Amino acid sequence: MDALAGLLEGPRARGAFMIRACFDPPWSVRVEDRAPLTVMLVVRGDAWVVPDSGEKVRLRAGDLAVARGPDPYTCADDPGTAPQALVLPGGECSYPDGRPLNGSMDLGVRTWGDTLDGGTVVLIGTYLWPGEVSGRLLDALPPLLTLTSDTWDCPLTHLLMEEIVRDEPGQEVVLDRLLDLLVIAALRAWFSRPEAETPAWYRAMADPVVGRALRLIQDDPAHPWTVAGLAAKAGVSRAALARRFGELVGEPPMSYLTGWRLALAADALRDTDDTLEAIARRVGYGSAFALSGAFKRVYGVSPQEHRARGA
């Protein structure tokens, strides 16, 4: 598995919140849903995304933005427009004063706003629960990233426009997979840009020495790696690997190995019904007890608690 594939295998929507938002100006929606990840694709018109901290971004037709939670933000026709609606956890909506909207902005199947033929149309997909997106991926993303239509052509726009308003059996599953594909395609394009703020280990993959060690760890995390063993495979001394690895990745090789093993275990706890013992063996721990102790030190909860939260 290459580094990017390992990073992007994380998004797996389960009953994601997906809508087509249609508005005429002035409009403004305050988002406080604490969702781990939200993607916004502008189909018609333009929109501003205004984080509480950080630079506001203007999106035009064909542009896409990905917002990493849980920080709130506002979407509007203009940064100065006061919010007219509030999006809360679980996709609940209310007026800014707290009164429930009670469906007053519903325009049909997964369609929301003030008019069906609005000058602005945005397709929005939200992963509602932390377990749907791996922590490794979220840690690698900035709070808000954008792709403009002049640098990236979304391959799924027309299909999403057709599917998001369908009311067919199994439609939620179809939309979940389309959202996963959209996010993966967008992030793959974003990671390929030189200005992308990729994690240090991802950049270090280009180094002939450290990249070799990283690939060995990622491809076979269950192997009983040591710094000396990795150095021998990379063709350098133990001291040389330790020094260069620390400079490029920002942590020692064994610390990175531990983090990688635990991240894989966290994903397996979320995505499979495998026993803790089986997961421990697969990621390089000698027993479920050893994995459980390391997991709780890093994640602050036991593997069982992590699995229960994901469920």
Residue-wise pLDDT tens digits, 257-280: 999 899 889 888 877 889 999 999
Burial of 167 (C-beta count, 10 Å sphere; 0-12/13-18/19+): exposed
Residues 6+ apart with CB under 8 A from 188: 4, 8
Token pair, residue 286, equals: 């000698």
The pLDDT of residue 6 is: 60
Bridge partners for 112 per DSSP: 21, 106
Global pTM reads 0.75
pLDDT of the residue at 279: 96
Question: What are 185's two structure tokens?
Answer: 């395609």
How, if at all, do strands 37-44 and 57-60 pair? unpaired
Spell out the alpha helix ranges (H) of 117-196. Answer: 135-139, 157-163, 171-191
15-60 pLDDT per residue, tens: 778 899 999 999 999 999 999 899 999 999 999 999 998 899 999 9
Q: What is the C-alpha separation between 233 and 227, in angstroms, rounded?
A: 10
Of 78, 286, 272, 225, nearest to 264 by C-alpha is: 272
The helix (run of H) or strand (run of E) holding residue 76 is strand 73-76
CA distance 309 to 311: 5
* 294 class by beta-carbon count within 10 Å (0-12 exposed, 13-18 middle, 19+ buried): middle
- pLDDT at position 82: 96
- Residues with pLDDT less than 50, the chain: 1
The pLDDT assigned to 49 comes to 97
Torsion of CA 118, 123, 124, 125, to 10 degrees: 160
Tell me what pLDDT residue 29 has: 96
- Decide: residue 115, CB within 10 A, 0-12 exposed, 13-18 middle, 19+ buried: exposed
Please give the pLDDT value at position 202: 79
